[in-house]
Amino acid sequence: MPDPTVAPPLPHIAGDATALTAQQRELIGLAALLGREKFAPRAARWDREASFPFENFADLREAGLLGICVPKAHGGLGADFATYVMVAAELGRHCGSTALSFNMHVSSTMWSGFIADSLDMSVAERSDHERIRTIHFQRVVAEGKVYSQPFSEGGAAAAGKAPWGTLASRADDARGGYHVRGKKIFASLSGAADYYGVLCTLEDTVHGGGTLRDSIYLAVPADAPGVRITGEWDPLGMRGTVSRTLLLDDVWVPPEARLMPEGLYFQAAQRFPHMFATLSPTYMGIAQAAYDFTLAYLRGEVPGTPPVKRRMYPTKQVAVAEMRIKLEQTRALFLQTAREARVDPDKDARMRLLAAHYTIMENANDICRVAVRTCGGQAMLKTLPLERLYRDSRCGSLMLPWTAELCVDRLGRECLYEAGERDEAIES
């Protein structure tokens, strides 16, 4: 018989725990522990100050989680896509900014890791990639270095509709490597990352250069001459990501800065669409957190608030039921698509992935909206986390390359057209 005076345990972020692997259970448990004991109590500070959660990254480093997607052969935890996104969702449940910033770091290791492994490369390219990624993975695993992923530029490139405006040209001296110049906006972890994983257009390739196919993904050291961070950071939500503007003024990087072989990013973007779906798990966690808070608040169990129960009102019960239904719909899509991540998913899986990403981003904000309305005025004071969850949740569907609008755009078109299909011109 459960003790009626004790709050029930928090529900599992990844649904049925028996469906998880041993590693998934262990790592989600670790994220939950860090989240509950360290990240949640600190979250208001990063939000208030719009400052980076350095302490949380120190904890992630100590727990070995910076290497979560570094292959085991390179000393990492070797987590697959599904495992990582479940862990990311659990982190997002306790501190959205930490989870979103952590994602920028982990994605860098995932792209060079199991995503690169699943793509076509020549034997020479694969062996060179293995040599180079060993350097990057060692930095993460042995030195605790942090990578970020600034690709947004304020034009059409981050939506995948134009080549990157940030340019790389080959250095023509004995050192080799590349010269990089350009500007990245919304560079999360500005001033906190040790390396910025910058997507650029390579100017001089065998077929001329300058196109989307010529994308190159380079790790630019934060302390390289020519790297500068500018701009204010005082946004609505996700304030701890510190996503300022990164200026790259003819920055030289060595050949070993390549996080992927030349041209491989384009192949990855075509063949491994789940690579763009790693932002939404954070928001899955936020949706869960808003639901958790609402339950605790209506039961009169939020620490620091009077033990006033509000759960007996039918309108509250209806609202919680609506939230739970939306949460379960969101979680179901999240888990299904997490487990479908692979190279060359079929069209159905691609469409489902866009639908899932859209659903998580939009539902997270909607669940937070209902939570604020249902809990009422006292619950949205700054002393409680709900108003932060509400603001953080608003950011998800704005994030390129898969904003809510662009998901709808692509879904509508691709559901109705097969590759290469065109309509006859309509005569007026």
Ligand X SMILES: Cc1cc2nc3c(=O)[nH]c(=O)nc-3n(C[C@H](O)[C@H](O)[C@H](O)COP(=O)(O)OP(=O)(O)OC[C@H]3O[C@@H](n4cnc5c(N)ncnc54)[C@H](O)[C@@H]3O)c2cc1C
22 CB-near residues (< 8 Å, 6+ apart): none
189 CB-near residues (< 8 Å, 6+ apart): 52, 101, 104, 105, 146, 148, 241, 242, 243
Kindly tell me which of 184 and 316 has the beta carbon lying closer to ligand X: 184
Kindly tell me which residue out of 33, 72, 73, 154 binds ligand X, with binding defined by CB under 6 A.
154
- Tell the burial category of 232 from Cβ atoms under 10 Å away from its Cβ (0-12, 13-18, 19+): exposed
Task: Work out how close the CB of 157 gets to ligand X at its nearest, in angstroms, rounded to a whole number.
Answer: 9
Q: CB–CB of 379/330 below 8 Å?
A: no
Q: H helices of 38-122, where?
A: 40-49, 54-62, 81-92, 96-110, 116-117
Site stretch for ligand X (CB under 6 A), options 68-76, 110-118, 290-298, 400-408: 400-408
Contacts for 113-117: CB closer than 8 Å, 24+ residues apart? 113/69, 113/70, 113/71, 113/76, 113/137, 114/69, 114/71, 114/80, 114/81, 115/268, 115/272, 115/275, 115/343, 116/260, 116/264, 116/268, 117/71
Site stretch for ligand X (CB under 6 A), options 78-86, 134-142, 157-165, 368-376: 157-165
Q: Using CB under 6 A, which residues numbered 87 to 126 contact ligand X?
A: 104
Element (DSSP H or E) covering residue 215: strand 215-221
Task: Work out how close the CB of 97 gets to ligand X at its nearest, in angstroms, rounded to a whole number.
Answer: 8
Binding mask 332-361 for ligand X (x = CB under 6 A): ------------------------------
Kindly tell me which of 129 and 391 has the beta carbon lying closer to ligand X: 391
308 binds ligand X (CB under 6 A): no
Is the CA virtual torsion 215, 165, 353, 332 positive or negative? positive
Q: Using CB under 6 A, which residues numbered 160 to 189 contact ligand X?
A: 161, 186-188
Of 350, 374, 375, 365, residue with least CA distance to 398: 365
Site stretch for ligand X (CB under 6 A), options 108-116, 211-219, 325-333, 393-401: 393-401
Kindly tell me which residue out of 158, 253, 302, 367 binds ligand X, with binding defined by CB under 6 A.
158
Kindly tell me which residue out of 212, 269, 349, 398 binds ligand X, with binding defined by CB under 6 A.
398
Kindly tell me which of 107 and 374 has the beta carbon lying closer to ligand X: 107
57 binds ligand X (CB under 6 A): no
Element (DSSP H or E) covering residue 199: strand 195-202
403 binds ligand X (CB under 6 A): yes
399 binds ligand X (CB under 6 A): yes
Task: Work out how close the CB of 176 gets to ligand X at its nearest, in angstroms, rounded to a whole number.
Answer: 27
Task: Work out how close the CB of 12 gets to ligand X at its nearest, in angstroms, rounded to a whole number.
Answer: 27
Kindly tell me which residue out of 241, 288, 294, 330 binds ligand X, with binding defined by CB under 6 A.
241
211 vs 73: CA distance, rounded Å: 35
Kindly tell me which residue out of 156, 325, 381, 415 binds ligand X, with binding defined by CB under 6 A.
156
Output the six-digit token pair for 144: 């605790």
**DSSP letters along 276-298, please?**
G-SSHHHHHHHHHHHHHHHHHHH
Q: CB–CB of 40/94 below 8 Å?
A: yes
278 binds ligand X (CB under 6 A): no
190 binds ligand X (CB under 6 A): no
325 vs 404: CA distance, rounded Å: 21
Kindly tell me which residue out of 66, 110, 368, 406 binds ligand X, with binding defined by CB under 6 A.
406
The residues pairing with 195 across neighbouring beta strands, listed in sequence order, are 147, 221
Kindly tell me which residue out of 10, 50, 370, 400 binds ligand X, with binding defined by CB under 6 A.
400
52 binds ligand X (CB under 6 A): no
Kindly tell me which of 63 and 185 has the beta carbon lying closer to ligand X: 185
Total of residues contacting ligand X (CB under 6 A): 24
**Residues forming the site for ligand X (CB under 6 A):** 104, 149-152, 154, 156, 158-159, 161, 186-188, 238, 241, 243, 395, 398-400, 403, 405-406, 409
